Amino acid sequence: MKDKLSLMIPGPTPVPERVLKGLSKHPIGHRSNEFQATTEKTHKLLQWLHQTNQDVLTITGSGTAAMEAAIINTLSKGDKVICGDNGKFGERWVKVCRAYGLDVQIIKAEWGQPLNPELFWKALEEDPNIRAVIVTHSETSTGVINDLELIANHVRKHGNSLIIADCVTSLGACNVPMDKWGIDVIASGSQKGYMMPPGLSFVALSERAWEANSRSNLPKFYLDLKSYRKTISKNSTPFTPAVNLYFALEASLEMMQEEGLEEIFKRHERHKKATQAAMKAINLSLFAAEGFGSPSITAVSPNNIDAEIIRKYVKEKFDILLAGGQDHLKGKIFRIGHLGFVSDRDIITAIGAIETSLSSLGILNQPIGKGIEAAAFELAPKE
């Protein structure tokens, strides 16, 4: 059916009507008092979301702009860094670092497996000159959550290094207390837990990161965070911001605050468990290692069946967009996004559609219903 698409991908995620209405307001002058008020309000709510007292800077750009800003504002050419790499977004960190001439040591895990925090500890012990440890918290390409808390803890104990994290699909889905965990840089993007369309990205720096910034010699202009920090102190921006996306951000952060962080985390946890249980109940394998499923995305491996056949059927018949596998995982997995503005109904709907599609495709070797049943159990109110 035309124009009835339901997004169950890890970004763009579904957008509430209130946010869409913010988007479609007529723009105002970005140097006006009215816009300053929006900037001030969104900044405070971003600090709340990041659980930090630091500035959270908003960049008009994709999530990758925030990732690049994280690197080029804290490091210098030739600096030794460690990149965790267990998926496509881990690989992106490596590419960004190499584009700027950093000396990159890679700590790998197979796609689907989590990064081993002890390998980071070991590497930091072996080389006291590591300037930064760079990690993807929720690896969107594989649906794996890495143990950022423990890795950050190792980095803090080591002392000389920064911990830089891509929290693009974890922030607003699970607990990421920036100050408590001692994370130095968090990068994120609007089309994820923020329940917004893409176009804004966010980066927050700790005091340690700002100290590193004063030594950083990599060239930059649009992504020079010093100019963002200077202007946010006046509730402004260094360059013309995407005014309408700020209106949307204001609406979405208000909605998030109304729901509350704890409730948001519980909802994502519940949807993760329901989705995982349902996939197991219909005899599909989970791609992420047991216990390391992301709160925002479940990657599903239909064993010997082309995952694209299932994904296409679900889209054509039920107007639900699932994500495919990327790179060598294309056809091997599909991914169910349960990130942002997703309700229990959406989970039941997606599982019902997948289960029905498998049956229609002759792949489901059991009566329809076991997936929904398993999900319903997880979604039911707990004592």
375, 363 in Cβ contact below 8 A?
no
d(CA 253, CA 227): 24
Binding mask 167-196 for a second copy (x = CB under 8 A): ----------------------x-x-----
d(CA 208, CA 211): 5
In the complex, least distance from residue 23 CB atom to a second copy, rounded to whole angstroms = 5
Q: Among 242, 299, 347, 354, which residue interacts with a second copy (rule: CB under 8 A)?
A: 242
Binding mask 47-66 for a second copy (x = CB under 8 A): -------------xxxxxx-
Instruction: Indicate if the alpha-carbon torsion angle 76, 49, 269, 199 is positive or negative.
Output: negative
d(CA 371, CA 210): 49
Q: Among 53, 233, 240, 360, which residue interacts with a second copy (rule: CB under 8 A)?
A: 240
In the complex, least distance from residue 220 CB atom to a second copy, rounded to whole angstroms = 7
C-alpha 303, offset from chain centre: 26
Total residues interacting with a second copy, rule: CB under 8 A: 51
DSSP string, 273-325: HHHHHHHHHTTPEESSPTT-B-SSEEEEE-TTS-HHHHHHHHHHHH-EEEEE-
Q: Which residues contact 49 (CB under 8 A, 6 or more apart)?
A: 56, 171, 172, 253, 256, 261
Query: What are 187's strand-pairing partners?
Result: 166, 203
Under the binding rule (CB under 8 A), the answer on residue 90 touching a second copy is no
Contact range with a second copy by CB under 8 A, out of 142-150, 180-188, 242-250, 304-312? 242-250
Binders of a second copy among 3-32, rule CB under 8 A?
5, 7, 9, 11-12, 14-15, 20-21, 23-30, 32
DSSP string, 62-96: -HHHHHHHHHHTT--TT-EEEEEESSHHHHHHHHH
Contact range with a second copy by CB under 8 A, out of 99-107, 275-283, 344-352, 374-382? 99-107
Binding mask 101-120 for a second copy (x = CB under 8 A): x-------------------
Binding mask 292-331 for a second copy (x = CB under 8 A): -----------------------------x-x--------
In the complex, least distance from residue 290 CB atom to a second copy, rounded to whole angstroms = 29
Residue located via tokens 């176009």: 199
Q: Among 1, 129, 159, 221, which residue interacts with a second copy (rule: CB under 8 A)?
A: 221
Report the b/e string of 246-258 with b at 16+ CB within 10 A. Answer: bbbbbbbbbebee
- Binding stretches for a second copy (CB under 8 A): 5, 7, 9, 11-12, 14-15, 20-21, 23-30, 32, 60-65, 68, 95-96, 99-101, 189, 191, 197-199, 218-224, 239-245, 321, 323
